[in-house]
Structure 1
């Protein structure tokens, strides 16, 4: 049902999204059968394509041209996909979206090179864009994403982190790429600087909400809905917002200690989930996510009249209220 709602939101963009899907398939084609199979496996796992959609919608505030926009949308989605492959190696994850990860299907070395190949393809695609500002924004984005990945490794199982640490991490992990999708779509389409700023800020606020909701769903959803064990973030040492709000709870502290040494039982996982689900931490995290959504809506209101304003609102609300 949720996926059908999302497709309905994108329905008037379907033909252009189909163009991007075909370009992604072309971009992931490699002369190496091993990398080719791994890349296509990732593509076939699907995804919400949030980043390409924000490129397209933002571009519609300017001079829209799908032949140009695909060369922005495709590399941004490739960067996202490549980072997922690397994430699964770092977290030693075997499942994503209910499917085996590239790392699980092959091995860590093949997965890392597959991620590198996808990043390289992203850089290759953007070379067709002449605007140097596009290259500067994309380069800055990639640098910050890598910094964010390193920070996430440094923060694993670190129970003394605070909200500032968490927000800094998710900005680099998720929000920055969504922010850049909105900014790059607008810049490439020649949107005036004032509205580029509004779209950029909208993307940042929506991206922050998106990741907070992801972190909430990791605890409140079922294993089946997630396509992986609920609580996987904490199992891998990623201290997310609900846990920061609950870090003084003895059950949570004990779980983190045992997870760090790889000794968690299924009973302990279920006990941890029950504590989180019954706590006020989930409600508090939802409130924080909604504050970011409210800020995003203010940025939309500041944009000029355009049919895409409603599209931005609808997608942002879907992201903030989604159940998967």
Structure 2
């Protein structure tokens, strides 16, 4: 079983979720219609809906119920990306112009707000107070994570704990909640819900660390955006954090990036220092450690096709190149 096989097995339900997202964002307001349409057209891995669906397979699976969770969580993720692009002043995402680049910052911010509102509208169709409380708590934590990232831009004196807390809020939490809510609305036994939730957390941490590694070693063609963007924007991710334990590298990087008009040659020199420091390999080891923990959580669940699919997705997270 590979990733394509997993997605193929879920094709009908994922197609339904895609259509429901389109219906949710349908509006007579022309600009919101255009911006929302562009975002949906850009697509993505749709990992969160996949985690929702597969977690639901451990219980009483009904697509008409579980689709509401999948749509809501993917819309929340999409809204956060639109806001991220404004904060990061990003012109490209997945190889396409961002909303802020094609329109402007104000349009992008209100588009993100609109998508978030539609996500909350969808989740009200789930008759579970626990699901509502979980989702509101998640949105709060994700927002705190975004604020922390803004606060820590160009802060070269961060520690590992603050980085891990930030990526938990930025990425891992939404993946963890995808597993939890998919299981919750499908009446999966509580102890299995906990294992799925923890699996999602560990897989999400690995996913973000891999993302941060790819920003240094990936290509623009594969990433859909220029490499080294995080460093240029002053976002201190794991490879940079580990490399800067060397005072010489830290001094070189901070001196280079103090100048907001850093040219491509200077940025490439900073990237080379990090890549040759061993920090990439150490980051990969940490990502793999989280994946191992994720697989251990799955070992506590019943052996079934859904568990095999989650195991394969975890493997993909650790090996992906984009």
2:183 paired residue among 180, 186, 196: 186
Match runs of 1:1-324 below 5 Å: 6-247=3-244, 248=246, 250-324=248-322
User: Is the CA contact (8 Å cut-off) linking 1:234 and 1:256 kept in structure 2?
Assistant: no
- CA distance in 2: counterparts of 1:49 and 1:75, whole angstroms: 12
User: Is the CA contact (8 Å cut-off) linking 1:94 and 1:104 kept in structure 2?
Assistant: yes
Q: Which moved more, 1:224-233 or 1:113-122?
A: 224-233
Q: Which runs of 4 or more aligned residues in structure 1 lie more than 4 Å from their structure 2 counterparts after TM superposition?
A: none
CA RMSD in angstroms comes to 1.2
Report the CA distance between 1:215 and its aligned residue.
0.1
- CA distance in 2: counterparts of 1:280 and 1:30, whole angstroms: 50
- CA distance in 1: counterparts of 2:12 and 2:254, whole angstroms: 47
Report the CA distance between 1:229 and its aligned residue.
1.4
User: Is the CA contact (8 Å cut-off) linking 1:62 and 1:189 kept in structure 2?
Assistant: yes
User: Is the CA contact (8 Å cut-off) linking 2:256 and 2:266 kept in structure 1?
Assistant: no
Report the CA distance between 1:7 and its aligned residue.
3.1
Report the CA distance between 1:251 and its aligned residue.
4.9
Report the CA distance between 1:307 and its aligned residue.
1.7
- CA distance in 2: counterparts of 1:46 and 1:260, whole angstroms: 36
- CA distance in 2: counterparts of 1:260 and 1:20, whole angstroms: 45
Question: How big is each residue's C-alpha offset from its partner over 1:79-130, in whole Å with a ceiling of 9 and x where there is no partner?
Answer: 0000000000001111111110000010000000000000000000011111
User: Is the CA contact (8 Å cut-off) linking 1:237 and 1:260 kept in structure 2?
Assistant: no
Question: How big is each residue's C-alpha offset from its partner over 1:200-237, in whole Å with a ceiling of 9 and x where there is no partner?
Answer: 00000000000000000000011222122110011111
User: Is the CA contact (8 Å cut-off) linking 2:66 and 2:185 kept in structure 1?
Assistant: yes
Matched residues, number: 320
Flag structure 1 segments of 5+ consecutive residues without an equivalent.
none
User: Is the CA contact (8 Å cut-off) linking 2:249 and 2:274 kept in structure 1?
Assistant: no
SS at match of 2:312: helix
Q: Which moved more, 1:51-60 or 1:256-265?
A: 256-265
- CA distance in 2: counterparts of 1:192 and 1:274, whole angstroms: 49
SS at match of 2:243: coil
- CA distance in 2: counterparts of 1:257 and 1:263, whole angstroms: 12
Report the CA distance between 1:249 and its aligned residue.
5.1
Q: TM-score, normalising length from structure 1?
A: 0.96
Question: How big is each residue's C-alpha offset from its partner over 1:147-201, in whole Å with a ceiling of 9 and x where there is no partner?
Answer: 1000110111111111101000000000000000000000000011100000000
- CA distance in 2: counterparts of 1:137 and 1:153, whole angstroms: 25
SS at match of 1:84: helix
- CA distance in 2: counterparts of 1:38 and 1:261, whole angstroms: 34
Q: Which moved more, 1:125-134 or 1:223-232?
A: 223-232
